[in-house]
Amino acid sequence: MLVLTRRVGEKLVIGNEIVVEVLSVSGDGVRLGIVAPRETSVHRFEVFDEIQTANRASSAFAGQAGSSLAEVAAQMRQRQEESTVEGPKSKVQGPKSFDSKLETRNSKL
């Protein structure tokens, strides 16, 4: 890991386009300003790491037997029926915009 010391108001450059500036320091908090190209996403590490972990866990599920998945889906459909009685507001609907695209494949599974 590269370690640098910077003072408030000083900057560093990553690659040719990403500039990080130390805006202020207060106690153990450091306020940073970041200038990066639009296509470069900047996240707090904890958020990025949590989402990355969730993504990997979700994708890992696909190869497994889906008894849990079928159970959850059945529960969701049951809720759909219940809420249809109560009122249409919370009705569970399929992804309308994609329905026509998906219909053709439905029979193949």
Partner 1 sequence: MPTLRIQGNEIPYDEKDIITFPEGLIGLPNLSRMVAVKQSTIEPFIWFAAANEEDVAFVVAEAQSLYPNYQPTLPDDSSAKALFAEDETPVVFAIVLIDADWQKSTANLRAPLFVSAKTMRGAQVVLNDNSFAVGEPLPLAAAAA
Going residue by residue from 61 to 80, which x/- string records binding to partner 1, judged by CB under 8 A?
Answer: xxxxxx-xxxxxx-xxxxxx
Which spans in 30-91 are helix H? Answer: 45-60, 67-86
Per CB under 8 A, 47 contacts partner 1: yes
Per CB under 8 A, 85 contacts partner 1: no
What the block records as the tokens of 3 is 């370690």
For residue 2, which amino acid is it? L
Cα distance between residue 49 and residue 51, in whole Å: 5
Per CB under 8 A, 30 contacts partner 1: no
Smaller CB separation from partner 1, 24 or 90: 90
Whether residue 42 contacts residue 32, with contact meaning beta carbons closer than 8 Å, is answered with: no
* Residues forming the site for partner 1 (CB under 8 A): 38-41, 43, 47-48, 50-59, 61-66, 68-73, 75-80, 82, 89-90, 92-98, 101-103, 105-106, 108-109
